[in-house]
Amino acid sequence: MSRHFSEAWGAKPTVFHRASGAKPTVFHRAIEAVRRIFRRRREKRRGFPERTSFDDAGAADSTQPEVKPPTCDPLLQLVSLQNASGFWMLDSALAAALGKTSEEVEKSKPEPVSSEVWATILALIWLQGFQTDAKDEWQILAGKAVLWLQAQNAPNVTECVDAGNALLGCRVQKDALGL
């Protein structure tokens, strides 16, 4: 029995029952991976000091330094942008998560490739190139993306991987992505 990941967003938890003893599905493993991401990020945030005392006027106490809230984690941004089918959309939110502008990302796209295929390959390269230490958190999501890409029979995947590596400054091999 496990809780639904919506609990991380403050929603009422949903309980999954696996009374049959069957192995967890890919969906359940993906949910567990997302839960681990949120749990680890929540634990990291707890390390930040709370905002200090306020005077009667509501202004922050000038003797205490102002604590800036942590910026959103790029891994969480990328994970939250993945479509339920396993692909990413090519938009400004993805570009921001990758640390690029929309123009840079769109300009680098090989011509015969769809925007979704290009965005998904970029996301996979970014995960493999910049988040290897958190691989246990994203490998199931990446597997879902690879399955989606394989179902698309996308042309020029090697060209996309090369262009994505050039854009992101990585050296990820096509085989390392599972393609």
Burial of 83 (0-12, 13-18, 19+ CB in 10 A): middle
**pLDDT tens, position by position, 149-159:** 999 998 889 99
Neighbouring C-beta atoms of residue 25, cutoff 10 Å? 10
Encode pLDDT of 11-64 as tens digits.
Answer: 444 444 445 555 667 766 777 777 777 777 777 666 654 444 444 444 444 454
Nearest to 142 by CA among 101, 105, 93, 176: 176
Q: What does the pLDDT look like over 161-174, one tens digit per residue?
A: 999 999 999 999 98
Helix (H, G, I), strand (E, B) or coil at 142: helix
> How far is 125 from 53, CA to CA, in rounded Å?
44
Element (H or E) spanning 175, and its range? none
Residue 62, C-beta contacts closer than 8 angstroms, at least 6 positions apart: none
